Amino acid sequence: MLSVLAFADVQFKETFETDPLGDGGWTLSDWKKSDGQQGKWTWETGPFNTGDADKGLKTSEDAKFYAISKKFDKFSNAGKTLVVQFQIRHPQDIDCGGGYIKLLGSDYDPAKFNGETPYSVMFGPDICGATKRIHTILNVKGENKLIKNTLECESGQTSAVYRLVLNSDDTFKVTMNGQEKASGKIKDNWDIEKPAKIPDPSKPKPKDWVDAEEIDDPKAEKPAEWDQPKKITDPKATKPEDWDDSDDGEWEAPMIDNPDYKGEWKAKRIKNPAYKGPYVQPEIDNPDYVEEKDVYKFDDIGGVGIELWQVKAGTVFDNIIIADSEADADAFLKDTCADYKCGEAEQKVKDAQDAEAEKIRKAAEEEAKKKEEAEKKAEEAKEGEKEGDS
């Protein structure tokens, strides 16, 4: 049972205690349904079950598209902190697929929700092969802006908790299992504005500007004996006695590497006496620069959606909260994930399952070995009887 959050506004929370596909209020999109590429969602825990409260929204079919969402009362985070937090697990050991959620505008159509539906924020892990990143995308004036730095995500099979914080002073923070992955000014980490300064186009690098720090030594001369062929005729080779020029053609000695070959000659490099250093082009104010203010702010958030593709299904989404305080998110986390210990609990279940599976495997292996030995002895006894009869 969740304790009452005693802080400010919690705009949305979802623990999936109620079947999201039934009375839980989630709407399955019709996207990809007509062409058979739509994946089936289920309401379950996944294989490392630590209790009924661990049920979540689970992808269940490989190589499919998924799109589902839930509407809530429209809100704006103007003048407030925006916190987006959710728990996710990939018990299938995901190889390629998304695990992110989107904050949607209040006017979107749940039945038509798809990959082209506009959103305010897209946040969460995305894994495909060696690429394991936390997608953190903000929509600014209709353009989706991806965070510049690659933030590595969790790729294990047990739960991880992701949190995005957008503050009203245009700063942000991303954490995974309580560990900070990135923070700072939003405009320093996303390409949101055009540069305030640009190189002065009227002052390009002069044609006579020398920026080569080293040059070939003009006094250097290639030694006269330097040029040698790479391959030479093997001096030890002799024409076979049975070689017949009329039948075998004219005999040619085989070629071998020339021990005197020195490769391409290159002059020694020296410091360039005319070197002026790298040219620094003067800058001017960018006439196209427009200062963007309140880049943290979204005036119309009215839904949360999950839209993704997965090669190997089995991902479970759980315990989503959208609030205006990290204290709210912390309290929610304590109730739903025991301060990031949900992954540890699942790992214990997994370890126990693995140990039992290994026990069964060894028992089966031992049984097969005993059977093989018994059959071998029976065959030997049978052969012995045949020899006695003879």
The 10s digit of each residue's pLDDT in 288-347 is 999 999 999 999 999 999 999 999 999 999 999 999 999 999 999 999 988 888 888 787
pLDDT at 52: 61
Residue at 283 is within a domain: no
Query: What is the extent of the structural domain holding 145?
Result: 10-195+295-338
| Same domain membership, residue 381 and residue 329 | no
Selected residue with higher pLDDT from 356 and 299 = 299
Instruction: Please state the rounded mean pLDDT for residues 219-244.
Output: 91
Residue 7 has pLDDT above 80, yes or no: no
142: left (phi over 0), alpha (psi -120 to 50) or beta: left
Residue at 208 is within a domain: no
- Give me the percent of the chain exceeding a pLDDT of 90: 71
pTM of the model: 0.77
Residues 6+ apart with CB under 8 A from 166: 77, 81, 82, 121, 138, 172, 186, 296
pLDDT band for position 389 (cuts 50, 70, 90): low
Selected residue with higher pLDDT from 154 and 238 = 238
pLDDT at 152: 93
| Same domain membership, residue 386 and residue 300 | no
Lowest-confidence range among 209-223, 236-250, 305-319, 362-376? 362-376
Residues 6+ apart with CB under 8 A from 146: 135, 136, 137, 190
pLDDT digits (tens, 9 = 90+) for 368-380: 888 888 888 888 7
Q: How many domains does the chain have?
A: 2
| Same domain membership, residue 365 and residue 318 | no
Instruction: Please state the rounded mean pLDDT for residues 152-160.
Output: 88
Residue at 179 is within a domain: yes
pLDDT band for position 2 (cuts 50, 70, 90): very low
Residue at 367 is within a domain: yes
Residue at 205 is within a domain: no
Residues 343, 88: contact at Cβ < 8 Å?
Answer: no
| Same domain membership, residue 384 and residue 299 | no
Residues 98, 310: contact at Cβ < 8 Å?
Answer: yes
Residue at 218 is within a domain: no
Average pLDDT, the chain: 91
| Same domain membership, residue 360 and residue 331 | no
pLDDT digits (tens, 9 = 90+) for 89-133: 999 989 999 999 999 999 999 999 999 999 999 999 999 988 999
Distance CA 169, CA 295 (A): 9
Residue 364 has pLDDT above 70, yes or no: yes
| Same domain membership, residue 303 and residue 382 | no
pLDDT at 173: 98
Residue at 269 is within a domain: no
**Cα 251 to the chain's mean position, in Å?**
62
CATH assignment at residue 161 = 2.60.120.200
| Same domain membership, residue 372 and residue 350 | yes
| Same domain membership, residue 348 and residue 324 | no
pLDDT digits (tens, 9 = 90+) for 254-277: 999 999 999 999 999 999 999 999
Residues 307, 117: contact at Cβ < 8 Å?
Answer: yes
Distance CA 160, CA 88 (A): 6
Lowest-confidence range among 42-46, 371-375, 379-383? 379-383
Residue at 206 is within a domain: no
Copy the structure tokens of residue 59. Answer: 């992808």
Residue 6 has pLDDT above 80, yes or no: no
Residue 210 has pLDDT above 90, yes or no: yes
pLDDT at 368: 83
